[in-house]
Every structure is written in C-alpha cells, then in structure tokens.
C-alpha cells in the first residue's frame, strides 16, 4: 500500500466544497472512509442528516495506554465576496504554500492527523487506541456534528479523557522569540438579543430619543468602550510562561499586562500581536444583526440588536449582560439567544508532554498554554469529561499572520508546516505510551 503524502491529502480535501451552509460533507467523508478502509481500519459513519455525516475511525493500539480522541471538522466557511488570488477550492501549491479554503481551518490539520496516525499505526507506535473523528457542521455550531454525537452517541467515547483538536501548536513571534501556544481552554458562546424601545410615530414628524436613537447610542458605546479586564488563571499562566521566555523590557511589559489597570494600554503598545490577546482579558460583545421597523414612513417603537458575545471561563450570561448595562448609556432588555458553556476547570495532565514534544521538534521555540478567544467542538466533548488540547503543530514563517488568513481570502498553509506537523504528531504518539 502506497504511503500517504500530507500535501496531496490536503489538496484532495480542499477540492471538496464543504462550505457551511449547507456543508455537504458526505462526499469528503466517503472519500476519507474509503482511503482508511483500504488500509484495514475499522470505520463508522453516524449522521443526524445523511448529507452531514461524521466519520469515526478506530486506530488500534497495544493496550498499554488509555484511549485518545483526535478530531477535526471538514466543513469550511464561505468564500463569497472575497477577492482570492487562486480558485479557493483548487488546492493549488504555489510559492511553498497549499492554497484554498480550509487550508488552515481546518483541513490542513485533518490531513496532518490522518497522515500521522496512518504512519504511527503502520509502525506500531500507538500505545493505546486512538479514535479519529472527522466532524460536520463545526462552522455553524456543531448541531449536526460534535454536539449531536455527544448527545446521541456518548457511548462511542467511553473511557476517553483526553483529546487533540483545534486550535494550537502553531508558532507566533513575540519580541523576536518563537512561541507555540497550546490551547487548553476556550471562551464560551453567549449570543444575546438586545431590545431598545421608545415612542413610535409617523415618519413625517420630528422624533428624538426613540428606539432608533437608543440603538445608535448603544452601537457607539460598543465601538468605543471595552468591558472590564479579568485575569483568568489560564491567561495568567500563559503570560507568565511567555515572560519567562523573554528578557528585559519585553518581559516586564508582558508581566505588566497582568495588572488590570495597565492591561489594555500595554497590549495596544505591543502592536497587532498584542491586540490579538485583548479578547483573552475581556468578555466581548460585537454587534452583528439589526432588525426592527417594517415601513419606511413609520418610526418603530422597538428595534433589536443581535450581539455575538463571548464569555471568559467561569463567567455566566448574566455577567456579560451586567457589564453591557454599565457600558451602554441607554436602557434595553436582554435575551440570551444561545449559551454554550465550557468546562470550569482545566485538566493539565497531558500539557507537559505536548509542551515537551513541541520544544523537541523546534528547540528554538517555547510552548505555552493558550486560552482560545473563539470556540471549538471541544465544548461538546467537555460534557463527556474529555479535555481537549488544541494541538495542530505548525512552524510558520516569520511574519506569517496565522489568524489573519482564517476565514479570509487567500487562506493558505506552508508546505513545510504540514511536514512539521506530521513529525510533531508522530513524536507525540511515540511518547504518549511512555508518559
């Protein structure tokens, strides 16, 4: 049986247009399933909707270590309205990169997981069973993917306590030093609808201070002000470990970011990289959808604003609502549209091994823990008592802004990063049985 090339595998995955909505992950799942069945692996497809299947693949180990979950999603976000330099579903290799929607989020990681597991399995390196799960629907909430599996088929994950998933293990530079953040926790979805009320009336009259005016004041406040700073345990550990890898003024600056009175000023002074860390210190709220009124000549008595809120670990929707009531200078009613809570505590037990693996793969790099500002399917597996570590290892070129290409035009991943990832994952699978 011929070996799998991670670059060719990623190209093939990108060429399946799994834009969600609608997703249509079935063809991609069928192709991967066939590839793995040809190699004698046990596979299973579970689906809430036949066009939105999830693939479960058991890689048998030697029975010398607990079972492990490795998972990724196959759906991608839209490319509409984006000026791409290459066709976004071509998987073209150009300038040392594989280009295409999903190259980073997260078909590149899927390709690394599949390749590393096939190689590790063939070499007899798996100390325990590994359950690979390729999921549908992550980009639209996971209701046909991880959420549905956790609710309807929890028995498939019996005995599993640790998982590798997205996002983490990619390199970034801080003050000239290369770091590899490993995701150990993530923020929580907290979508809100804010309703603003006021006197309605005929559009020909003069109106002041109504629902629309209040909405405007709220939008300005959300644009100009931040909610309070909170230093959570994971972020404190993250920044202290980053500081330990730096010296002089850079070290002092990173540590001073842990002082709430200085946090935002310090992070802003660190440029784009520092500002990317700001959501790790705040419950955030971004206005996304406005609705209200149904006739151009009628001033509405009520307008609604949908807000994409993200909570820090340990916080509740009422905490964010309270912060918004302080931030927004006009009255409103708040309704929770969706709250996906995350785990309250971090299981750190696998983190030291992941850190060791990355620092062996790149002796000039330093691995640190990460609180992810977004959310992943890890929140669903957390319901089953499974700790997810975001571990998609990538050594990226200096100046390559990883986050700026996710969900954006010209998404791409360096070919060398794919090979680095496979190597780091192989190192992990070899070491896992000895830990």
- Per residue in 161-197, pLDDT tens? 999 999 899 999 988 899 999 999 999 999 999 999 9
Rounded distance between C-alpha atoms, residue 295 and residue 106, angstroms: 43
- pLDDT score, position 100: 98
CA distances 174 to 247, 257, 271, 277, 303, Å, are 11, 14, 10, 12, 44
- pLDDT score, position 216: 97
- pLDDT score, position 1: 57
The answer to whether the beta carbons of residues 179 and 366 sit under 8 Å apart is: yes
Gap between the terminal Cα atoms of the chain: 31
Identical fold, 6-167+376-432 and 186-340: no
**Where in the chain are the domains?**
6-167+376-432, 186-340
Cα 337 from chain centroid (whole Å): 21
CATH entry 3.30.70.360 includes domain 186-340? yes
Nearest C-alpha neighbor of 403 from the set 300, 275, 287, 316: 275
Rounded distance between C-alpha atoms, residue 262 and residue 259, angstroms: 5
Rounded distance between C-alpha atoms, residue 270 and residue 251, angstroms: 12
Q: What is the pTM of this model?
A: 0.94
6-167+376-432 CATH, one of 3.40.50.300, 3.30.470.20, 1.10.1240.10, 3.40.630.10: 3.40.630.10
Instruction: Name the stretches of the chain with pLDDT < 50.
Output: none
């Amino acid at each position: 049986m011929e070996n799998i090339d991670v670059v060719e595998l990623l190209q093939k995955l990108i060429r399946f247009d799994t834009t969600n909505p609608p997703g249509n992950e079935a063809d991609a799942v069928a192709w991967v399933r066939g590839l793995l069945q040809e190699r004698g692996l046990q596979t299973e497809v579970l689906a809430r909707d036949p066009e939105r299947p999830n693939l479960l693949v058991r890689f048998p180990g030697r029975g010398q270590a607990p079972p492990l979950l490795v998972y990724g999603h196959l759906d991608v976000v839209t490319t509409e309205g984006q000026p791409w330099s290459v066709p976004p579903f071509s998987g073209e290799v150009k300038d040392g990169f594989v280009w295409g929607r999903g190259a980073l989020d997260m078909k590149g990681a899927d390709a690394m997981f599949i390749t590393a597991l096939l190689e590790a399995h063939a070499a007899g390196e798996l100390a325990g069973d590994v359950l690979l799960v390729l999921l549908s629907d992550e980009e639209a909430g996971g209701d046909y993917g991880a959420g549905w599996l956790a609710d309807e088929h929890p028995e498939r994950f019996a005995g599993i306590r640790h998982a590798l998933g997205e996002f983490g293990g990619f390199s970034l530079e801080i003050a000239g030093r290369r770091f590899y953040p490993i995701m150990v926790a993530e923020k929580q979805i907290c979508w809100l609808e804010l309703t603003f009320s006021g006197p309605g009336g005929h559009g020909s009259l003069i109106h002041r201070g109504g629902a629309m005016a209040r909405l405007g004041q709220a939008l300005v406040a959300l644009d100009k002000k931040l909610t309070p700073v909170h230093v959570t345990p994971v972020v404190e550990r993250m920044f202290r470990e980053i500081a330990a890898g730096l010296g002089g003024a850079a070290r002092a600056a990173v540590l001073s970011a842990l002082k709430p009175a200085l946090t935002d000023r310090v992070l802003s002074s660190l440029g784009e990289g520092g500002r990317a860390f700001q959501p790790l210190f705040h419950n955030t709220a971004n206005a996304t959808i406005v609705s209200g009124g149904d006739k151009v000549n009628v001033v509405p008595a009520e307008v609604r604003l949908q807000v994409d809120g993200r909570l820090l670990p340990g916080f509740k929707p009422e905490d964010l609502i309270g912060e918004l009531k302080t931030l927004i200078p006009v009255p409103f009613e708040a309704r929770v549209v969706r709250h996906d809570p995350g785990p309250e505590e971090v299981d750190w037990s696998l983190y030291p091994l992941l850190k060791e693996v990355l620092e062996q793969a790149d002796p000039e790099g330093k691995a640190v823990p990460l609180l992810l500002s977004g959310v992943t399917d890890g929140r669903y597996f957390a319901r089953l008592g499974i700790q997810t570590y975001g571990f998609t290892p990538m050594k990226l070129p200096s100046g390559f802004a990883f986050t700026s290409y996710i969900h954006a035009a010209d998404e791409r991943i360096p070919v060398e990063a794919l090979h680095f990832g496979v190597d780091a994952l192989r190192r992990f699978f070899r070491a896992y049985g000895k830990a």
